[in-house]
């Protein structure tokens, strides 16, 4: 079966500073992948390359077996959504207008279609921001803005969703809701890849862990395997250990 996404031997450097060196992995629809690593490991850079926003200096990215470089911008936008770490907060649009921007790749007229609006409403409802759809984006809190941006990605109806720390600014309940929503989207057949530093959210909701270390994918393991063998934790910090909750679930604790 052809992988939905395949990255091979990805390399990237900022001048003399090598960020990625022969990084690669493949993934199928139905997976919820946590991309882990220390600050500066290259997680955001790799996500940008997978989204087609930054060219790799060597290596290749294939979507459904076809090089990403051969995809038109419109086709790419209909297939891949990408939420970076930082979005300007002073955008002069309402919440609904921001979410509808996720439908831009499908537009063939000046105005949004009924289908576009239906997808936008469904996405806002799913990310619990429908109640303030008419508010100006710049009046929202950081967590509210993050839910709006996540809704815009969902409204895009992509096969591949790339998120750079999607739970940023969210309170605890919203973090849980965010990751459970992404897990449900993956279960419906999409591929979700999320950069995160919250190891326990990853263990609870993701299906697979990828750890970037020294420019390469140093560990690639199913969450079930990661819960049995804690060796991967040493790539992140020597102060981490894997324990079990009273309910029998794996939990990363600090020494």
Read off the pLDDT of each residue in 52-62 and give the average, rounded to a whole number. 95
Cα dihedral value 66, 119, 34, 23, nearest 10? 20
Paired with 254 in beta bridges are 240
* Residue 85: band (very low, low, confident or very high) from pLDDT cuts 50, 70, 90: confident
Read off the pLDDT of each residue in 128-149 and give the average, rounded to a whole number. 95
CB contact at 8 A, 35 and 47: yes
Look up residue 9 and give its two tokens: 């031997």
* Residue 215: band (very low, low, confident or very high) from pLDDT cuts 50, 70, 90: very high
Q: Is the pLDDT confidence value at 2 over 70?
A: no
pLDDT at 186: 97
Q: Which domain, by its residues, includes 10?
A: 5-254
Q: What are the φ and ψ backbone dihedral angles of 22, each rounded to 5 degrees? A: 60, 45
Q: Out of 47-51, 91-95, 120-124, 153-157, which region has the weakest mean confidence (pLDDT)?
A: 91-95
* Domain count for the chain: 1
Q: What is the pTM of this model?
A: 0.94
CB contact at 8 A, 80 and 223: no
Whichever domain contains 77, its CATH number is 3.40.50.300
Nearest one of 127, 153, 135 to 95, comparing CA atoms: 135
Read off the pLDDT of each residue in 135-149 and give the average, rounded to a whole number. 94
pLDDT at 248: 87
Q: Is the pLDDT confidence value at 1 over 60?
A: no
Give the span between the Cα atoms of 7 and 16, in whole angstroms: 23
State percent of the chain over pLDDT 70: 99
Give the span between the Cα atoms of 13 and 16, in whole angstroms: 7
CB contact at 8 A, 244 and 227: no
């Amino acid at each position: 079966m052809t992988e939905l996404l395949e990255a091979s031997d990805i390399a990237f450097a900022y001048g003399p500073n090598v960020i990625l060196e022969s990084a690669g992995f493949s993934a199928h629809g139905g997976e919820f992948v946590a991309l882990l690593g220390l600050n500066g490991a290259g997680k955001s850079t790799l996500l940008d390359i997978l989204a087609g926003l930054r060219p790799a200096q060597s290596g290749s990215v294939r979507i459904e077996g076809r090089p990403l470089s051969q995809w038109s911008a419109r086709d790419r936008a209909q297939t891949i959504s990408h939420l970076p770490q930082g979005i300007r907060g002073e955008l002069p649009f309402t919440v609904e207008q921001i979410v509808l921007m996720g439908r831009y790749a499908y537009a063939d007229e000046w105005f949004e279609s009924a289908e576009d609006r239906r997808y936008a409403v469904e996405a806002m409802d799913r990310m619990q921001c429908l109640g303030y759809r008419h508010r100006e984006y710049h009046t929202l809190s950081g967590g509210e803005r993050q839910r709006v941006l996540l809704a815009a990605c969902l409204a895009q109806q992509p096969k591949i969703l790339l998120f750079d720390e999607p739970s940023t600014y969210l309170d605890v309940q919203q973090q849980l809701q965010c990751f459970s929503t992404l897990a449900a989207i993956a279960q419906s057949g999409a591929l979700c890849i999320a950069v995160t530093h919250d190891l326990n959210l990853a263990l609870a909701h993701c299906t697979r862990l990828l750890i970037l270390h020294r420019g390469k994918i140093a560990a690639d393991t199913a969450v079930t395997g990661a819960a049995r063998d804690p060796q991967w934790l040493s790539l992140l910090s020597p102060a981490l250990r894997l324990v079990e909750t009273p309910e029998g679930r794996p939990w990363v604790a600090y020494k």
